[in-house]
Structure 1
């Protein structure tokens, strides 16, 4: 399935800005391409870049990296739960509560790269394992309808969104 084949009924309208950042390609190709692009970007950073923030009260690069990884895991879990027909409504998550407790400032750049690669590879394997029927099932997350394939496009678009912010707002 390509991005343009995704129906708006499969996700909350809030996520449209993330999905719009993606090319009209299949999810697996997008995830693989973004993994390469993101890892190359991260490899160009220095350890001191992790402490950088662009305005008072904004997250540091390290905190954003941890946020991307956490969000990736959460949306993978949502996709898996819905694909396996667990009808339990899935809660939202408070990203602002996750950031301070992550202690991202204690991490090294290489640890972020390694973890991102592992988590993305797990996501690629998950989405490759889902057939059309499984990926099109509807469930509930954050009080909204969600399909596993929409969760995949959302996590990819979320990562792309933050990569663009690193370039435009953080000057990296």
Structure 2
């Protein structure tokens, strides 16, 4: 199956890196680590969450393709972000990992047949999902978080204006 026949737009999957990179372009480390509140994520934490999600999706992809019948893993996004002290990390390092996983997974995607894309697994909610659905969901999830990054940037700009 060629890329053009895949039920998932592989280029859109790969483009999520550029979209995230553009969303944070020009932000200082302080801006990347600024949090609207203690209970809300910084931009760096959002990026870390997306890298974590990409790791989980990578695992789910391989479980489905292997024919495994185990339930696909969930993850505790808040505890993962907090536990790894994500806000002390470097956003560009996180984006580099995110991009590497995109590329690695896309190499697999380009080898898949229509039958492969329709292989299924059972998610943590007990729902049967196809591989194609998981990847499309990941792309949508990144787009959701691009909106979150934009909201954080706007809140940070207002906060700075109030404190000056």
* TM-score tier after normalising by the smaller chain length: 0.7 to 0.9
C-alpha RMSD over aligned residues: 2.1
C-alpha distance 168-154 of structure 1, shift in aligned 2 (>3 A): same
- Structure 1 equivalent of residue 75 of structure 2: 93
Is 1:162 aligned to 2:162, yes or no?
A: no
Structure 2 Cα separation of the partners of residues 139 and 59 of structure 1: 30
User: What is the SS of the residue equivalent to 1:91?
Assistant: coil
CA radius of gyration, larger in: 2
After TM superposition, the score normalised by the length of structure 2 is 0.80
- Structure 1 equivalent of residue 3 of structure 2: none
- Structure 1 equivalent of residue 161 of structure 2: none
- Structure 1 equivalent of residue 127 of structure 2: 144
Structure 2 Cα separation of the partners of residues 139 and 152 of structure 1: 13
Provide structure 2 residue ranges, at least 5 long, that are not aligned to the other structure.
1-6, 157-164
Provide structure 1 residue ranges, at least 5 long, that are not aligned to the other structure.
1-24
Q: How many residues are aligned here?
A: 149
Structure 1 Cα separation of the partners of residues 78 and 128 of structure 2: 23
Structure 2 Cα separation of the partners of residues 125 and 103 of structure 1: 31
User: What is the SS of the residue equivalent to 1:53?
Assistant: coil
Structure 2 Cα separation of the partners of residues 46 and 122 of structure 1: 29
After TM superposition, the score normalised by the length of structure 1 is 0.77
